[in-house]
């Protein structure tokens, strides 16, 4: 019963988003009475927590752990791939939910606000590990990690944004490129965009230490 409710919840929340999904619809899809749903879960946000957030948090925790000691093992190309392939597909799959969470993160009165704070914090914790791994790897390559927080922020914004901004960030009149093309393009931008900085170009930029 619980498993059926979780499956129906996950499907409805990811198809329609949190706000547009009712507990009545979840119960109907799971083939149970609505009071049964409330016996298993206290409220709509509790169903959401169990069906959607727990798996997402578990995924992000595994992704964060994947950066432990990455610095000694991999090169920049592998780092770029691990960043892009680790985030883009999962955020894209649940894009409607992420857009709702982003709005909720900005609205302390939303009942999704605590969830949004938790997920966003977990993402930033993972990106801190990417940041630290990035320092170690650029150091090993003899590259200039000029401004690693800005680099990670820009690159992570690209990966998250590309997964969410179908209606905003793609040229009009062109089909929004699919997953394979976006992953290849973003990996190339990250690798080429971070490996061609010379100490000279660094010194020539005023205010670099800010």
Integer CA distances (angstroms), 210 to 2, 19, 146, 171, 206, in order: 53, 42, 11, 34, 9
- Which helix (H) or strand (E) is 56 found in, with range? helix 54-65
Closer residue to a copy of itself (CB): 42 or 121:
121
Which residues, 115 to 134, sit near a copy of itself by CB under 8 A? 120-121, 123-125, 127-128, 130-131
CA distance 186 to 155: 9
Q: Which residues contact 141 (CB under 8 A, 6 or more apart)?
A: 75, 76, 195
- DSSP codes of every residue in 141-199: HT---TTHHHHHHHHHHHHHHHHH-TTTSS-TTSPPP-HHHHHHHHHHHHHHHHH---H
Beta carbon of residue 170, minimum distance to a copy of itself (angstroms, whole number): 4
Closer residue to a copy of itself (CB): 72 or 207:
207
Residue 33 found at the interface with a copy of itself (CB under 8 A): no
Q: Which residue, among 46, 10, 49, has the nearest Cα to 29 in the 3D structure?
A: 10
Which residues, 165 to 184, sit near a copy of itself by CB under 8 A? 165, 167-178, 180-182, 184
Give the range of 6-14, 34-42, 47-55, 150-158 binding a copy of itself by CB under 8 A. 150-158
Residue 114 found at the interface with a copy of itself (CB under 8 A): no
CA distance 18 to 119: 15
Residue 207 found at the interface with a copy of itself (CB under 8 A): yes
**Residues 38-77: x/- map of binding to a copy of itself (CB under 8 A)?**
----------------------------------------
Binder to a copy of itself among 23, 36, 82, 96 (CB under 8 A)?
96
Contacts to a copy of itself by CB under 8 A? 17, 19-20, 96, 99-100, 102-103, 105-107, 120-121, 123-125, 127-128, 130-131, 146-158, 160-162, 164-165, 167-178, 180-182, 184-186, 188-190, 192-197, 205, 207, 210
């Amino acid at each position: 019963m619980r498993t059926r409710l979780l499956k129906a919840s996950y499907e409805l929340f990811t198809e329609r988003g949190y706000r547009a999904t009712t507990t009545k619809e979840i119960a109907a899809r799971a083939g149970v009475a609505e009071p049964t749903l409330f016996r298993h879960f206290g409220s709509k946000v509790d169903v959401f927590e169990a069906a959607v957030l727990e798996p997402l948090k578990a995924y992000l925790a595994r992704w964060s752990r994947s950066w432990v000691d990455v610095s000694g093992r991999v090169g920049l190309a592998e780092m770029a791939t691990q960043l892009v392939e680790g985030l883009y597909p999962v955020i894209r799959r649940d894009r409607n939910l992420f857009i709702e969470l982003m709005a909720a993160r900005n609205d302390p009165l939303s009942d999704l606000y605590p969830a949004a704070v938790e997920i966003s914090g977990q993402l930033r914790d993972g990106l801190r590990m990417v940041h630290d791994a990035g320092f170690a790897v650029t150091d090993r390559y003899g590259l200039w990690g000029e401004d690693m927080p800005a680099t990670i922020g820009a690159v992570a914004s690209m990966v998250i944004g590309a997964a969410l901004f179908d209606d905003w960030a793609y040229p009009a009149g062109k089909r929004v490129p699919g997953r394979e093309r976006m992953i290849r393009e973003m990996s190339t931008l990250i690798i080429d965009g971070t490996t061609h900085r010379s100490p000279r170009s660094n010194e020539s930029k005023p205010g670099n230490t800010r």
